[in-house]
Amino acid sequence: MLKTFPIGGIHPPENKITSSKGIKRMPVPKVVYVPISQHIGVPSEIIVDKKEKVEIGQVIAKSSGFVSSNIHSPVAGVVTKLDKIIDSSGYKKQCIVIRTDVKNETNFEEIDFPLKTKIELEPKEIIQRISDFGIVGLGGATFPSHVKLNVREDKKIDCLIINGVECEPYLTADHRLMIEKAEEIAVGIEILLVALNINKAIIGIENNKKDAIDIFKKVTQNNTKIQIAALKVKYPQGGEKQLVRAILNREVPKNGLPLDVGVIVHNVGTIFAIYEAVQYNKPLIERVVTVTGKKMENPDNYWVKIGTPIKDLIEEVGGLPEGTRKLINGGPMMGKAIKNTDVPVTKGTSGILVISEEEASRGKTENCIRCGECVFVCPMGLEAHLLMNLAEKGMFEKASNEDIMTCIECGSCSYVCPSHRPLLDYIRFGKNSVKKLETAKK
Amino acid sequence: MSNQPIVISASPHVHSDRTSKKLMYDVVIALIPAFLVSIYVFGIGALIVTSVAVASCLLFEYLIQKYLLKTEITIGDGSALITGILLAFNLPSGLPIWMIIVGSLVAIGIAKLSFGGLGFNIFNPALVGRVFLLVSFPVQMTMWPTAVENNTTISDAVTGATPLGIIKEGLMFGDTMTVISSKIPSTIDLFLGITGGSIGEMSAIALIIGGLYLIIRKVISWHIPVTLLLTMGVMTGIFWLINPEQNASPLIHILSGGALLGAFFMATDLVTSPMTRKGMVIFAIGVGVITVVIRMFGAYPEGISFAILIMNAFVPLINSSFKPRRFGSKIKSKIV
Amino acid sequence: MTDSVLYSVLLLASLGIIAAIVLYIVSKKFYVYENPLIGEIEDILPASNCAGCGSPGCKSFAEKLVNSEDISDLFCPVGGNDVMKLVAEKLGKEVTVKDPMVAVVRCQGSCDVRPKTTEFQGPRTCAISAMIYSGETDCEYGCLGDGDCVKVCQFNAMFMDEKTGLPVIITDKCTSCGACVEECPRDIIEMRPKNKKDLKIFVGCLNEDKGGIAKKACAVACIGCSKCEDICPKDAIIMENTLAYIDPVKCTLCRKCVPICPTNSIIETNFPPPKVKKVVEKKEVKKPAVKKEVIVESVNSEMNA
């Protein structure tokens, strides 16, 4: 019996077209657009000026609060302007535009370090380095990693969980990374174990990635600290709370964090970034991005510099196919539709999905037939139909009492609704309004 | 890039291939075996009743939506079709045609559209139509044509009582079950559907096939039918064990009358049944208990229609009292 | 036979009497004293419960009026000065006279001047599309066109113009309750003084982007050229983030800024027609004629459907 979480969940078609394609390196873009708000929390503070020359890896915007992160220049070049560019939030956000210096060789160096297993730093130094080098959660939530690692003294941690689930359909970035960099990730896990001063880590991988499971089993053969947990394929297993429940059978309390049950969860991509930062002083300036879509000519996985405009990626895989109706930053379940191809890749971009007419259009919204399917699939045990109704009618206080704030926005309810009701749209609206009400009360 | 603008919408960007229409037509498919058996047993009468009910339900939905409510016309979604079939399945095959039309009008006009159409009705429309006819025209509604030898004749001449009717009457006159059981069809006949009764309710095997189809296609969950039949079985079983001479066996109770039709097709109606698993179980227990109580102590020999309608009224209450377990509510929440 | 009639009459009568007694006792026992003035003031107020005054309803506003010493900063926008005068007389307190206000839509981005670059699929409410992205056009400051303001207006003073895709305010019906101002996620609607004859001049744009970008997204966008600021004799025009704003207090309605605007983004309403051509176009919208009533109704019936 494979492990999984008990309530709700769905199994959308996986469509992992690119799972057998090795990660290639994206050519260095001519211009990069680096948004200063790539993480959850306070936007970073710009510390470069127009026309200033920057080196690759130089800090160009520094952390400006507790929950914030440094941002480094992904290329060596010249800051051409500080402008507002539409990013995947759908709004124009402050951006640092850097023109790549084509003569500077550092831009084109292959960044492929040899494996280095010896950990030389003290726990405090490790966390400091993670903070300095701008590491954030690469699974999509982009929560600054050092904040997660700074565990308060009264909390006891006994287990580190590595999220290699990648439950989103289409995306294969984490999958490929696990296959190609298994040894490095294992070292990265060791680094975090040192930083947290614990000796148990479990890597959770869904059973549709058997090759990754096998590789990790081989790599960690002689390592008693790291275990592998093969999980049943079920969306949204990559949600922190679901993953902790699936692997350890511990349930994170309502409004709580995995920290409350003694667990810290990190994504495999984050672990690799931590490995590179700690062992080789490499800041987070590139990440793996899956560029995919059913009609794409050659969908693939790429190492992409942060700030690369999406149109460069699409050109690289053969341009937009005929009949493209939707571009998604992320996976099809939780990704954001973007307005145009000028949107840059950010630290949270795990994939670019191109969707054609047939899949893009939403079905016509019909009356709720009260089938209850949204209730059965909700991994948080919420009643989506009820929450939607309450939000639509503006009864936000009641919605709050029905635990609307615990919704993880996985989209399972909208996915299964036979009447194509925009459940999650309204629930998100309800959450926003509840948040506003709460801040107004304070 | 194509000429059409890029579409923006909130996540999720994919959708399962379930649609309301598909669910509805799955129910129609599941009803086909029972329909075929009814034609075999009652001949052309069953066909006439069913087609009249379906046609009038669709027509009334169309007319009311077009001329009275002036809303979008939704006869294509299959829900009126199901209402028509289920209404017909709950009627005796020799019923006068005008009564069927009246029943359809009540089902569609009053029970469904006056509440706001599909999804807003509190009571199962087909059952409301049926019960309306039953209390208005008790004589015609309990004239049960028995199985005909020649399937092509309209068999309103041959009438008999349903097995449950025979039992009820027999017990009232003080007969014992041993005497009565010689008068009712054998268990095998009940199972296959060689018996009297409403059009759709005779053949246990056909209904079970249809019900299993729905469960496999995930249109309905097993909770309601299984709990409902178990409740009926346990309750009648207790009575039967106490006094087998005065009470029919659980097997007869489950195989005869509308128990199976109700359990698989009426009580599980998506709109009028609870939306949580816990609620479904409670709902089904309620239906089972009320059905058995009506069958044993009530004036009518059969009570599942009433039982389902009564429990329909409790569905909003059940929905709000039996919530799914929220993730993380097991442990006391610690605020970080 | 007569017995049963008698019994039922007696039974019903006694039931009625018992119920009446119970009601009487309960109403006496649980009587709550309330200042009778509150009721009287409530009768004066327009009973629209629109919350335009800041209180949740007319009753609570009445309580506030009666209970507070100084009511000079309380104002009922729907009833206006007349109602406040009556209130003042009743309570013997001072009220301030305020200029009547009216809501204006500060966006002219109709379908033909502001092309749509994307298509939104989802619930058609401004609140939700604003949450997801910047709207179907390239202007992220302008009207989203889903009519949340129309839905929230309880005086039927607004409708969505199907041609332009923008909300239109019927000035005569607008009570300046402010519900639409609150509802609009883009803050496009502003309360401005109604003046005599409903004369208004305001900038019909909120685009803070630089000139070129703004102009590309919308032909009538304010490009921040500052020409109006230079020409204004009263310093009533404030430039901020490449966007002009006309201070309604300082503005004397001289109309010098209107023709000078290179993108026609300054709107004037209800001025006599000569000189500027644009007025004609605007008049069409603002004319409170019979024809408009028809449109309003048709919009409403569609909303109800």
Contact A91 C127 (CB under 8 A): no
**3-class DSSP assignment, residue A68:** coil
Q: C165 with C50, same domain? A: no
Q: C179 with C80, same domain? A: no
> Is residue C96 in a domain?
no
The total domain count for chain C is 2
Contact A369 B119 (CB under 8 A): yes
Closest to A156 (Cα-Cα) out of A294, A24, A259, A59: A259
| A62: phi then psi, degrees, rounded to nearest 5 | -110, 155
B14 Cβ under 8 Å from any chain C Cβ: no
Please give the average per-residue pLDDT across C231-250, as a whole number.
89
Contact B6 A327 (CB under 8 A): yes
How is residue B11 annotated by DSSP? Answer: S
Closest to A377 (Cα-Cα) out of B77, B217, B327: B327
| A48: phi then psi, degrees, rounded to nearest 5 | -115, 160
User: Subunits with at least 3 CB pairs below 8 A relative to chain C?
Assistant: A, B
Count how many pairs of residues, chain A against chain C, have C-beta atoms within 8 Å: 40
Separation between Cα atoms, residue A336 and residue A293, nearest integer Å: 15
Separation between Cα atoms, residue A430 and residue A95, nearest integer Å: 30
Q: Which domains are seen in chain A, by residue range?
A: 123-280 (3.40.50.11540), 373-441 (no CATH)
Q: Tokens 């026609």 — which residue? A: C264
**3-class DSSP assignment, residue C203:** strand
> Is residue C292 in a domain?
yes
Select the residue of C118, C122, C125 nearest A339 (Cβ to Cβ).
C118
Among C73, C91, C109, residue at a domain's last position:
C91
Query: In the structure, what pLDDT confidence band is assigned to residue B330 with cuts at 50, 70 and 90?
Result: low
pLDDT tens, A308-355? 999 999 998 888 888 888 999 999 999 999 988 889 999 999 999 998
Mean pLDDT score of chain C: 83
Closest to A149 (Cα-Cα) out of A239, A265, A30: A265
Q: Which of C111, C116, C120 to mutate to test the interface with B (most CBs of B within 10 A)?
A: C120
A336 neighbourhood in chain C, CB within 8 Å: 132
> Is residue C221 in a domain?
yes
Q: C45 with C123, same domain? A: no
How is residue C137 annotated by DSSP? Answer: B
B12 Cβ under 8 Å from any chain C Cβ: no
> Is residue C289 in a domain?
yes
> Is residue C16 in a domain?
no
Q: C179 with C260, same domain? A: yes
Q: Which chain C residue lies closest to A364 (C-alpha atoms)?
A: C122
Would you state the structure tokens that stand for residue A239, as one six-digit string? 């949600």
C118 neighbourhood in chain A, CB within 8 Å: 339
How is residue C194 annotated by DSSP? Answer: -
pLDDT tens, B251-309? 888 888 888 999 999 999 999 999 999 999 999 999 999 999 998 888 888 889 999 99
pLDDT tens, A67-122? 899 999 999 999 999 988 888 888 888 999 999 988 887 777 766 788 888 888 88
Can you give the CATH number for the domain in which C250 is found? 3.30.70.20
Chain B: nearest CA to A326, how far in angstroms?
A: 5
User: Out of A297-301, A374-378, B2-6, B74-78, which region has the weakest mean confidence (pLDDT)?
Assistant: B2-6
> Is residue C153 in a domain?
yes
At C289 the pLDDT is: 39
User: Subunits with at least 3 CB pairs below 8 A relative to chain B?
Assistant: A, C
Separation between Cα atoms, residue A186 and residue A203, nearest integer Å: 10
b/e per residue, C240-269, with b = 16+ CB within 10 A? eebbbbbebeebeeebebbeebebbbbbbb
> Is residue C10 in a domain?
no
Separation between Cα atoms, residue C296 and residue C305, nearest integer Å: 14
**Displacement of CA A66 from its chain's centroid (Å):** 20
What is the predicted ipTM?
A: 0.86
Q: C195 with C243, same domain? A: yes
Mean pLDDT score of chain A: 90
**3-class DSSP assignment, residue C76:** coil
Residue type, C60: S
**3-class DSSP assignment, residue C230:** helix
Q: Which of B15, B75, B335 to mutate to test the interface with A (most CBs of A within 10 A)?
A: B15
Contact C132 B71 (CB under 8 A): no
Helix or strand holding residue A286 (H, E): strand A286-292
Please give the average per-residue pLDDT across C276-292, as a whole number.
42
User: In this structure, are residues B215 and B198 in contact, taking their beta carbons and an 8 Å threshold?
Assistant: no
Q: C68 with C105, same domain? A: no
CA angle C30, C33, C36 (to 5 degrees): 135
User: In this structure, are residues C91 and C68 in contact, taking their beta carbons and an 8 Å threshold?
Assistant: no
> Is residue C74 in a domain?
yes
Q: Which chain B residue lies closest to A251 (C-alpha atoms)?
A: B328
Contact A361 C117 (CB under 8 A): no
Q: C157 with C68, same domain? A: no
Q: C67 with C189, same domain? A: no
Separation between Cα atoms, residue A317 and residue A297, nearest integer Å: 7
User: Subunits with at least 3 CB pairs below 8 A relative to chain A?
Assistant: B, C
Q: Tokens 């603008």 — which residue? A: B5
Residue C239, strand partner residues:
C244
Separation between Cα atoms, residue A344 and residue A36, nearest integer Å: 12
Q: C56 with C180, same domain? A: no
| A255: phi then psi, degrees, rounded to nearest 5 | 60, 15
Would you state the structure tokens that stand for residue A339, as one six-digit string? 């307005």
pLDDT tens, C75-112? 888 888 888 888 888 888 888 888 888 899 999 988 88
Query: In the structure, what pLDDT confidence band is assigned to residue C273 with cuts at 50, 70 and 90?
Result: low
Q: C289 with C160, same domain? A: yes
Range of the domain at C108: 101-304
| A309: phi then psi, degrees, rounded to nearest 5 | -65, 145
Cα dihedral across residues A48, A49, A50, A54: positive or negative: negative
At C288 the pLDDT is: 40
Q: C223 with C288, same domain? A: yes
C136 neighbourhood in chain B, CB within 8 Å: 5, 8
Q: C153 with C227, same domain? A: yes
Separation between Cα atoms, residue A310 and residue A352, nearest integer Å: 8
Residue type, B302: E
Select the residue of A324, A332, A379 nearest B327 (Cβ to Cβ).
A379
Can you give the CATH number for the domain in which C73 is found? 1.10.15.40
Separation between Cα atoms, residue A282 and residue A280, nearest integer Å: 5
**DSSP strand pairing (A226-231 vs A263-267):** unpaired
How is residue A344 annotated by DSSP? Answer: B
| C54: phi then psi, degrees, rounded to nearest 5 | 110, -20
In residues, how long is chain C? 305
Percent of chain C with pLDDT over 70: 89
pLDDT tens, B189-202? 777 777 777 888 87
Helix or strand holding residue A101 (H, E): none
Contact C123 A361 (CB under 8 A): no
User: In this structure, are residues B192 and B198 in contact, taking their beta carbons and an 8 Å threshold?
Assistant: no
